[in-house]
Structure 1
Amino acid sequence: MGSRRIVVVGAVAAATVLAGVANASAAPSSDSGDRHAVEVQAHRAAKRMAVDPIPSEYTAIAPVRVLDTRNTGGPVGQGGSVSVDLSGLTPANATSVVLNVTGTAPTASTFVTVYPSDEGRPDASNLNLSPGQTRANQVTVALSADRRVTLFNNAGNTHLIADLSGYYQDGLAALYNPVTPGRVLDTRNSGGPVGAGGTVDVAFPWLPGSATAVTFNLTGVNATTNTFVTAYPAGSGVPLASNVNVGPGEAVPNQVTVPLGVNKTVRLLNGNGTVHLIADMVGYYDSSAGFPFVPVSPERAMDTRPGAGLTPDFFIALTGWGEESDPVALMGMVGNVTATNPSNPQFVVVYPGGAQMPNTSNLNLVTGQTAANAVSVGIGFENAVGDRSVNFANNAGYVDVIFDIAGFFVQFN
C-alpha cells in the first residue's frame, strides 16, 4: 500500500475506556498512563479523488429489499458474483447508494466485496462470514454508469441479501454533518431488554428541524435466541428489512442510516426472544447545512497485518487528508473497518482526530474473530501527530485493523 508507520515523539492522555459490551469485551482498563500516537500515512484514494468531483447529496428512504438469493438465483458460489440493477429505484443522476448487505448460511469462511458493476473488483471487502453465520453490514458504494452494483463472494457458497436504504445524487437533497461519536441508547442501563416483537424509540430532539436522517452504530447484545433488529422511522410501517442479526452470547454491531420519523425519532424492532440494544450516534443529514459526498472506487487505506496493529497503550492516527483550507477539503469519510487476529475479547473505536476517545464502539470482538463494520467519521486535527487524522483505538489485548475507503464528505472553499 505504500503506507508508513511512524512512532511520533510525545503522547496524549489516555481516554477512560467505558464502551465495552457485556460478553464481548474485556473490563474497562484502569490504566491512567499515556496512549501514544502511531501515524499511518499516504493512502491513495484521497489523492485519486476526481480533480473536479461531483458533489452528491443524500436521500434517505424506507428500506427496500433489492436482492435475496434465498428466493431467486440461489447461493453465490466461490469466486462468484451477482449484479443488482438499481436503476428502477434511483434517479438518473444518482452517484452511489447505501445498502444493508447480509450474508447467511455460508459454507466456508469468506468475505464479500461490493463495488460498481462497470469496474474491476477492488482490493477491499465489506463483509466477513464464518460457516453457518448470519451477519450484516452497511455498504456505501458508487454506482456504475447504468446504476448497478456487484456483490462478490470469495469462498464456499453463501446467500446474499441487500436492502436499499438511500442514495446520493447530483442534486438538492441532504448534506452530512459528522459528530464526535456519542451514546444515545443503552438498554442495559435504562429500559431493560427489548422483547420479541417489541420496540424501543430513540429520539433526537436536539437536531434542527431541517434534519432528515441519522447515522448511528447499532449493537445487539445478550440475545436469548437468534434474532434480528430492524431500524425504521417512528410512525412508519415496519419494512421487510433487517439491520442486525445476533445470537446468544454475541455482540454484533452494524452502522445504520435511518430517516427521522415522528418527533425526530427512530424505532428499533426486535424479532425474537429478548435482546439489549446500544446506539452510538456518529452523524446526521440536514437539508440546509453540512457537507456533500464524493464517492470513490473502494480502496484499501490501511492494513496493519502482520503484527503492526493496536494495543491499548497507543492509537493509530490515519493521516494525509490535506488541509481544511484546500480548494476541496476532506471533512469526513465513509469506509469499512475490519478487525482480525484479536488476542482476547475487546472492542475497537474509530473517531475524529483531536477528539477524546469516545464512550462508544464500532466493533466488538471475541478471541480470534474477524469482523467488519461500516464507518462514517469526521476528520479532525490531531495534535499528537501535527496533522488531520482519523483515529483508531482498542481497549484490551492486540488486534489488526484494516480500513477501506468508499468516499469523502467535502467542503468546497
Structure 2
Amino acid sequence: MSAVVRKFAWLSVISAVVSGALVVAPASAAPASPAPGEAGAVVTGAAGALQATVGEGAAGYVGTVPSRLLDTRDTTAMTAGEVRELDVLGVGGVPASAVDAVVLNVTVTQPTADGWLTVFPAGTDAPLASNLNFATGQTVANLVIAKVGADGKVAVRNERGTTHVVIDVQGWFAPGQGYTPLAPARLMDTRSTAALAAGETRELTVVGTGGVPERGVDAVVLNVTVTRPSAGGWLTVFPAGTDAPLASNLNFVPGQTVANLVIAKVGADGKVAFRNERGATDVVVDVQGWFAPDAGYTALSPARVLDTRDDAPVGPGETLELQVAGEGGVPADGVDAVVLNVTATQPTAGGWLTVFPAGVGSPLASNLNFR
C-alpha cells in the first residue's frame, strides 16, 4: 500500500508528548480516558534529515536517519545469560571516532521466556539494571542512550530464555559537549520498600547519586520500569515542585512489566516526581546519564502535541506529519531534534510504528511494536 500523508498542525493530545528539545545554540494531569497502550521515547529530527556537525549539534548530539545495526533473526537468537557485543562506531552514520554515546532503538522479539535485556558499555560488568522487560512471545522496543565502551562497542545481555534482538541507531553524542553518559545505576526499586498507591506522587533525589553530580544538572536520563501493577493505568514523570502535567510516560495493564526511557527535567531540591494514577504498582528507576544546563538540551514539562483519538486513527501504511517546532514549549526555530514520548493504543492488528524526520523516506526501522 502506498503511504498516505496526513499533515497536522497542533492538536490537544495524548499520543505524542514532547518533553524536550535539542537546540542548535545552547539554551540558557493524566490522559483523558486512557486506553492501555504501548509507549516509547523517541529522539527525532524536527524537520528534514539531520545533517548537524558536532559544532552545530546541541550537547554534541547529531541525529541520523534510523539505520539498522543488528537483527539476530538473520543469524542466531541470544541465549539465556548471553552477552553479545556490537560495533557502533563507523556504521549507520556514526563516525569512527570522537563518539561518547549512541542513541539506539532496541527491540526484543520472539522471546521464549519472560525476561529482560540490559545494554551497557562493552568491557564493563553488566549493571544491576534493565532496559527492556518482556513476556514470553512479546515484541517490545525501548530507546537506549548507551555509553560507548571498549573498542567502540556496546554490550547487550539477555537474562532468560532465548530471544531475537533488533537494534537501530538514531544518533550519537560527542564527548565534552554537555551530555554525560553513565553506566546504568539503580536509583529506586519500590519492591524493597512500598509500592506506589493510586494517586500517589513520590519524589526521588537524582543529583549526587548514581554518578550524577550534586550541582550543574539540568536533566537526567532515566530508564523507568513499572512492574506488578494491580490495575491498568499510567505513570507520569515530571520535575519535583511542579504540578503533574497532562501527559504519561508509561502505560500498562494489570500484571504487566514495562519499561520506557525518560529524559526528566530536575526540579526542586534536585528531585524528580513520579505519579501513579490507578491501582498500586512497583517502580524501578535506573539512571543512564545527565545534561548540564548549558548543554543545548532544553528540558520541558511534558506537553501533548497529538492525539489521533480526537480525529481519526492512523490507517495501515499511512504517514502522519506533525508540527513540533513552536509547539509545547519548543522554540519555533533553531531546533535540531525533539524528545517525544509516543504511545500507540487500540490497534486493530499487531504492527509497528516508525518516527523519522519529515521530508525523507521511511527507514527500515521501528520505534514501537504492538499487538
The aligned counterpart of 1:402 is: 284
Amino acid at match of 1:375: V
Question: Gaps spanning 5+ residues in structure 1: where?
Answer: 1-15, 26-54, 173-291, 382-386
The aligned counterpart of 2:66 is: 63
Show the 5 A alignment for 1:10-409. Answer: 16-23=29-36, 57-72=60-75, 74-89=76-91, 90-91=94-95, 92-170=97-175, 292-306=178-192, 308-319=194-205, 321=207, 328-381=215-268, 387-409=269-291
Query: TM-score, with normalisation over the residues of structure 1?
Result: 0.55
Question: Shift in Å at residue 123 of structure 1?
Answer: 0.5
Distance 1:346 1:152 in 2: 29
Question: Shift in Å at residue 320 of structure 1?
Answer: 5.0
Q: What do residues 91-131 of structure 1 show as CA deviations (whole Å, max 9, x unaligned)?
A: 31100111000000000001000000111100000001111
Question: Shift in Å at residue 81 of structure 1?
Answer: 1.9
Is the Cα–Cα contact under 8 Å of residues 110 and 156 in structure 1 kept in the other structure? yes
Question: Shift in Å at residue 151 of structure 1?
Answer: 0.8
Query: TM-score, with normalisation over the residues of structure 2?
Result: 0.61
Displaced runs of 4 or more, over 6 A: none
Distance 2:217 2:193 in 1: 30
Distance 1:56 1:147 in 2: 20
Identical amino acids, percent of aligned pairs: 39
* Greater radius of gyration (CA): 1
Q: What do residues 384-407 of structure 1 show as CA deviations (whole Å, max 9, x unaligned)?
A: xxx221110111110000000110
**Structure having the larger proportion of residues in strand:** 1
Question: Gaps spanning 5+ residues in structure 2: where?
Answer: 1-28, 39-57, 296-371
Is the Cα–Cα contact under 8 Å of residues 24 and 345 in structure 1 kept in the other structure? no
